[in-house]
Amino acid sequence: MGQDPSRIDRQITANREHIAATLDAIGYRANVPARLAEQSDAILSSAVNVVDSVATRISDASRATTSALPNAAAVRIRSLVPLAIAYFFGMLVGLTWPRKAT
């Protein structure tokens, strides 16, 4: 009995902060859809970066190849570049898209 009131107040404040942090952690772990959304956003961002990189490489390779080819062949190759980019992007999105539980 005879404890200092300011010490008791500090202990109560510390306990409240600890309980609030614990409840926040439990809430984060219990909110699975939000965590999945965070993960899918990160995966999609990574996929977009990969697609940009692939698109740049394809475009660079296309420029290098078309400079050595006649005009008709160059036009054919240039028309395939957007198709290749769309294909790779579609594949990456398909791989990262969340699947429904069966």
What digits encode the pLDDT tens for the residues 28-84?
888 888 888 888 888 888 888 888 888 888 777 777 665 655 565 556 666 777 778
Mean pLDDT along residues 10-28: 92
Element (H, E) at 91: helix 71-96
Q: What is the pLDDT of residue 73?
A: 58
Separation between Cα atoms, residue 63 and residue 52, nearest integer Å: 16
Predicted pLDDT of residue 96: 75
**pLDDT at site 101:** 62
pLDDT of residue 76: 65
pLDDT at 23 over 60: yes
Spell out the residues 6+ positions from residue 55 whose beta carbon is closer than 8 angstroms to its own: 85, 88
